[in-house]
Amino acid sequence: MTERFTGSFTQQDPIPEAGIDAALAVLRHGRLHRYNTAPGEVSETTLLEQEFAATVGAKYCLAVASGGYAMGTALRALGVGPGDTVLSNAFTLAPVPGAIASVGATPVFVGVTEALTIDLDDLEEKLDQTRVLLLSHMRGHICDMDRLMAMCDAAGVQVVEDCAHTMGAAWNGVPSGRHGVIGCYSCQTYKHVNSGEGGFLVTDDPHLAAKSVMLSGSYMLFERHLAAPPPEAFADLKYTTPNISGRMDNLRAAILRPQVADLATQCARWNERYYALEAGLRDTPGLHIVERAEKETIVGSSIQFLLLDWAAERVIEVIDRCKARGVELKWFGAPEPVAFTSRYDSWRYVPSTPMVTSDRILAGVVDMRVPLTFSLGDCALIARIIRSEVSAVYQLTAAAE
């Protein structure tokens, strides 16, 4: 009998009971706005900022409405605006170029390697075009951050890290988001902590932290931010920084605090599932495993493999055959964007030219979510299904040739 997976690729773990209890307490007292506090009360959002800053080892943290808002705020804090260019990955998701476009700047795309990380050779050639790199650790793949930072520091290019897929990950022992001048994180449902939407911005720079707090819409209540610089850092900024409101509220913060506290445990659970899938897929004919660097501490909340140099119709056949057996795969080589999946030439508000080497890699990228609701047995079954269908199509192709 043909095996079939019957689980869900979009079902997340439930919110922890401590988060549900805290959320109910917020709903009962009704003080959802982060600055609406009772005498002597410290808001859930303020406490969350302190706790997340401690988790990643940052001096300052700002909780905001989304990861995309965090990136836009980071660029504004750095003074990026109309007429500027910002380097970023060709392999990323739409909120990254969207953040750049939101401040009136223009993305300049950098290629991708077979490790699904930014092409550092291509980056080196383009560093003289800008003063800011918005680096996307796309799908959790972290490049050689030591080399990248050395290159950017030498060129005077400031790095903002998009860590939507790497909360809890690290390079050479340094948490993701802590190499660049600012780190941005997402709390959207399919990320590593879940409040539906939400995000964080972290930095050690008091000027950038103060400016970000003002941009987020603190009015003159910045002293209620305990993970922010002292009041003197706001002395001039409070008069000159526009309010572009995007605060996190206390309800989301209440949901997130227990999840941040349990992040390391959840990351370990993701990695168990990731490596079970990887083991099941390894040595499949025609399928290229994306090998992870020794210095990279991963969070395997999704998995990617490459069908390099396959004809488009054959990749589509694999996707369709797996779907018929309950396994949902996404393909970055499709000519039209689908759901969350798009690529640099999909964003027609951004100028781009074909990138031959990167286009070859993107045409082979197959992507799959790994929810924590999967058991290890589920992962073994899913790997068997993918292995079976990739092998079948590969053999059909070889026979036809």
Q: Which of 195, 228, 261 is the last residue of a domain?
A: 261
Mean pLDDT of 85-100: 96
pLDDT-derived band at 167 (thresholds 50, 70, 90) equals: very high
Question: From CA 254, how far away is CA 249, in angstroms rounded?
Answer: 9
Q: Is residue 161 part of a domain?
A: yes
Q: Which of 261, 280, 303 is the last residue of a domain?
A: 261
Q: Which of 261, 287, 308 is the last residue of a domain?
A: 261
So what's the pLDDT on residue 288?
98
Task: Classify residue 189 by its DSSP letter.
Answer: T
pLDDT higher than 70, residue 264 = yes
- Shared domain for 248 and 268, answered yes or no, is no
pLDDT-derived band at 179 (thresholds 50, 70, 90) equals: very high
- The domain total for the chain is 2
pLDDT-derived band at 401 (thresholds 50, 70, 90) equals: low
pLDDT digits (tens, 9 = 90+) for 222-252: 999 999 999 999 999 999 999 999 999 999 9
pLDDT higher than 90, residue 397 = no
Mean pLDDT of 359-364: 95
Mean pLDDT of 273-297: 98
pLDDT higher than 90, residue 190 = yes
Q: Find out whether 228 and 62 touch, Cβ atoms under 8 Å.
A: yes
pLDDT digits (tens, 9 = 90+) for 45-55: 999 999 999 99
pLDDT higher than 90, residue 285 = yes
So what's the pLDDT on residue 1?
61
pLDDT, the chain, mean: 96
Question: From CA 11, how far away is CA 290, in angstroms rounded?
Answer: 25
Question: From CA 194, how far away is CA 186, in angstroms rounded?
Answer: 9
CATH of the domain at 241: 3.40.640.10
pLDDT digits (tens, 9 = 90+) for 253-262: 999 999 999 9
Q: Which residue has the tokens 């003080």?
A: 31
pLDDT-derived band at 8 (thresholds 50, 70, 90) equals: very high
CATH of the domain at 277: 3.90.1150.10
pLDDT digits (tens, 9 = 90+) for 136-166: 999 999 999 999 999 999 999 999 999 999 9
Percent of the chain with pLDDT over 90: 93
- Shared domain for 256 and 270, answered yes or no, is no
- Shared domain for 248 and 364, answered yes or no, is no
**Token code pair at residue 313:** 């119709």
Give the total residue count for the chain.
401
Q: Is residue 66 part of a domain?
A: yes
So what's the pLDDT on residue 147?
98
- Shared domain for 321 and 284, answered yes or no, is yes
Q: 23: buried, middle or exposed (CB in 10 Å: 19+, 13-18, 0-12)?
A: buried
pLDDT digits (tens, 9 = 90+) for 300-354: 999 999 999 999 999 999 999 999 999 999 999 888 888 888 888 888 898 888 9
Whether the predicted model's global pTM rises above the 0.85 cut: yes
Give the number of other Cβ atoms within 10 Å of residue 66's Cβ.
Answer: 21
Mean pLDDT of 270-298: 98
pLDDT higher than 90, residue 135 = yes
* Residue ranges making up the domain that contains 335: 263-400
